[in-house]
Structure 1
Amino acid sequence: MKARDRRLLDELERALARGSGLRLAYQPKVATDDGRLVRVEALVRWTHKELGPVPPTAFVPLAEEHGLIDQLTQWVLRTGLRQWREWQREGLETSLAVNISAVSLEHLDFPDLVERLCRALGMPTDRLVLELTEGATQPLIKLMDTLTRFRIKGVGLAVDDFGTGYSGLIQLRRLPFTEIKIDRQFVTDLPHSRDDAVIVRSVVELAHGLGLQVTAEGVETVEQLAILRRLGCDLVQGYLLAQPLEAKELVPWASRHKRRWKLLVRPPEDPHLRQRLEANA
């Protein structure tokens, strides 16, 4: 192991033990039909006092490889569920999405642990969605029992970054998913790429035919939003709606968003006003 990786791993273990430096940011997902807040995705962030911000792409793989991923996952779940309860007390209705490593799913008691956490913190299990990258779905076919137990308990399962892996359509038929997340690479050029539009339309029709919900990631412009609404995508998330927020920012954001949504779906013709609208998420 490289010296930097060893240090990151040691420091992450200390951060988890002490509860220092780690936090969650929350990115809203809204319905395309009326703009209502449906779900927030919990995103783990780590700021080290000497190393500064450490990206998840640097520390999550290390946690998976060296036995810390379960501890990290449980920290994320407990923190996110506690925050969901606080939002409920403030009158904000939403559900919560959490990214889960396939490594955690290898433990047969993991669904029971998640159910106990939900019960202890007062969250109905049907308000929780676990997101799994498409690249992870190949080994997940071996974990059918674990995934099925989650569905029996009411927990939703989403395929993240759909379209970037090689799991194949058979995975969607075999695995008990409830949601597909279209990767941002198919959203970025959507207003200018006929191919991307065809792909997105096909994914939406496929998902709906299988009874699955569809979320588009990386939505940054009003043109992308308009096309996704026209193609029947159910939910959207991205910087056009909101960047990842601190927990205390979500309630004020929700209040502003209700007014702003009308402008997003009927944007001004003036390109300068449109740019200002897109920049003021």
Structure 2
Amino acid sequence: MNKEDVRLLDELERALRQGGLRLAYQPKVDALDGSLVRVEALMRWTHPELGAVPPARFVPLAEMHGLIDGLTQWALRTALRQWRVWKNAGLDTSVAVNISAMSLEQLDFPDLVERLCRALDVPVDRLVLELTEGATQPLINLMDTLTRFRIKGVGLALDDFGTGYSGLIQLRKLPFNEIKIDRQFVTDLPTSRDDQVIVRSVIELAHGLGLQVTAEGVETVEQLAALRDLGCDLIQGYLVAHPLEAGELVAWASRHKRRWKLLIRPPQEEPRRIKA
């Protein structure tokens, strides 16, 4: 490990102990009616000297050097406590937390998550754990752990679907109930026939397996119209909202209800249904 990584790891451990981390929350909404379905908790670390340090930089360090369990438990506790605040404010949604595959190697992890939910008075079915497709490579060997989550009622989502070579194997063998289409397939969706065929196929496959589909990285009304036309369930991206501070969500939800109508084209202006 080089000196920069050593320093970053020390600073991360200090931030975890001293409250230097925070969560931002990005809404996911129903693609048809715009209703808020879920928020994804996104880890944020702003270092006083280094500035914003992206999770892609510090999470792998935490995984390699024994900090990932503490990081995961902090994220779960913080997100679940915030869910209770929103619930008390009259906003009922569910919350998704990104989980490292390494956390699933602990046999008692499902029980720990259930205890956290119970202690913080959060129904387990209001929590979704998200894993990246790349991270699921070793999870075939952890089928029992994942199945226990499903039995307990905790949702499981496969993130960045389509970026790895084994996605279909994961869908067939692992007990997910949601997949998230990676943004690379959404960017050119309104004009790319190839992307249209791929996204249509993924949505039909997922629905055939009883899975919900979320599209990531939705930034334009044209992308939204194409996804609605293809039958996507949920959307997430800057068109809906940037990641929000916890205290901003209730006000955003109120504004969003009025704004959603402006994002939906009148029926006569909607694009024709795409034929494969």
Give TM-score, length-normalised by structure 2: 0.95
Distance 2:49 2:167 in 1: 43
Distance 2:76 2:213 in 1: 23
How far apart are the structure 1 equivalents of 2:62 and 2:186?
Answer: 30
The AA in structure 1 aligned to 2:234 is L
Is residue 244 from structure 1 mapped to residue 243 from structure 2 by the alignment? yes
Q: Distance in 2 between matches of 1:2 and 1:194?
A: 46
What is the percent sequence identity of the aligned residues? 83
Residue identity in the other structure for 1:119 = R
1:128-151 deviation per Cα after TM superposition (whole angstroms, max 9, x unaligned): 000000011110001000000000
Q: Does 1:49 align with 2:52?
A: no
Q: Residues 199-218 of structure 1 correspond to what in structure 2 (within 5 A)? A: 199-218=198-217
**Aligned position for 1:12:** 12
The one-letter amino acid paired with 1:196 is D
- 3-state SS of the aligned residue for 2:37? strand
Name the structure 2 match of 1:277.
none
The corresponding residue for 1:279 is none
Q: Distance in 2 between matches of 1:238 and 1:251?
A: 18
* Unpaired runs of at least 5, structure 1: 268-281
User: What pairs up with 1:70-219 in 2 under 5 angstroms?
Assistant: 70-219=69-218
Judged with a 3 Å threshold, the aligned counterparts in structure 2 of structure 1 residues 7 and 225 are, in CA distance, closer, same or farther, namely: same
CA contact (8 A) 2:133 2:167 kept: no
- Residue 274 (structure 1) aligns with: none
Aligned residues: CA RMSD? 1.1
How many angstroms apart in 1 are the aligned matches of 2:198 and 2:51? Answer: 39
The Cα of 1:18 is off from its aligned counterpart by 1.6
Aligned mates of 2:104, 2:41 — CA distance in 1: 18
Equivalent residue for 2:3? 3
Q: CA deviation at 1:266?
A: 2.2
User: Which whole-Å CA distance do the structure 1 matches of 2:169 and 2:131 have between them?
Assistant: 16
Deviating 4+ runs (over 6 angstroms): none
- How many angstroms apart in 2 are the aligned matches of 1:23 and 1:185? 27
Partners of 1:207 and 1:63 in 2: how far apart? 32
Counterpart check, 1:68 vs 2:67: yes
Paired with 1:237 and 1:83, the residues of 2 have a C-alpha distance of: 20
Q: Against the structure 1 CA distance between its residues 195 and 183, is the aligned structure 2 distance closer, same or farther, given a 3 Å change threshold?
A: same
Partner of 1:256: 255
Match of 1:271 in 2: none
How far apart, in 1, do the equivalents of 2:150 and 2:224 lie?
30
What is the rounded CA distance, in whole Å, between the counterparts of 1:43 and 1:143 in structure 2? Answer: 25
Q: Per the alignment, in what secondary structure is the counterpart of residue 91 of structure 1?
A: coil
How far off its partner does 1:170 sit? Answer: 2.3
Distance between the aligned counterparts of 2:100 and 2:145, measured in 1? 13
Aligned residues: 267
Residue 272 (structure 1) aligns with: none
Alpha-carbon deviation of 1:15? 1.0
Q: CA deviation at 1:183?
A: 0.1
Q: Which amino acid aligns with 2:250?
A: V
- 1:210 deviates by 0.1
Are 2:125 and 2:155, in contact at CA under 8 Å, matched by a contact in 1? yes
Q: Secondary structure at the match of 1:61?
A: helix
SS at match of 2:129: strand
Whichever residue aligns with residue 8 of structure 2, its letter is L
Equivalent residues of 2:180, 2:216 under 8 A apart: yes
Q: How far 1:196 moved relative to its partner?
A: 0.3
- Give the Cα–Cα distance (whole angstroms) in 2 for the partners of residues 137 and 197 of structure 1: 26
Q: TM-score, normalised by structure 1?
A: 0.94
Aligned-partner SS, 2:44? strand
Matching residue's letter, 1:178: N
